[in-house]
């Protein structure tokens, strides 16, 4: 399994019982795009960030804190 760059997003999804497909519908992208965004392969747009922060009632720093990368 690949390392997640945005584990807080994945954690909120799990906490709310939401799938990649659910979040994709919410922000208007495919489930595979959500997966790539969470892993850091694709960037989040400002609009997507705003939607998710409002949806999860979290601020940017709580929801989009990057995972520490080990060397």
- Please name each of the domains of the chain with its CATH number: 7-62 (1.10.260.40)
Binning pLDDT at 50, 70 and 90, where does residue 70 land? very low
The answer, yes or no, to whether residue 65 has pLDDT greater than 50, is yes
**How many Å apart are CA 71 and CA 53, to the nearest integer?**
30
Binning pLDDT at 50, 70 and 90, where does residue 59 land? very high
**How many Å apart are CA 27 and CA 50, to the nearest integer?**
10
Residue whose pair of structure tokens reads 């892993």 in the numeric block: 39
Looking at residue 71, what is its pLDDT? 38
Looking at residue 2, what is its pLDDT? 59
Structure tokens of 26?
């919410």
Phi/psi for 47 (5° steps) reads -60, -45
- Structure confidence by residue, pLDDT tens digits, 9-51: 999 999 999 999 999 999 999 999 999 999 999 999 999 999 9
How much is the pTM?
0.86
């Amino acid at each position: 399994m690949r390392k997640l760059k945005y584990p807080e997003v994945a954690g909120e999804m799990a906490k709310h019982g939401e799938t990649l497909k659910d979040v994709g519908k919410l922000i208007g992208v495919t489930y595979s795009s959500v997966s790539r965004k969470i892993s850091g392969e694709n960037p989040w747009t400002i609009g997507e960030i705003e939607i998710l922060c409002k949806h999860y009632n979290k601020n940017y720093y709580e929801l989009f804190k990057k995972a520490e990368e080990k060397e």
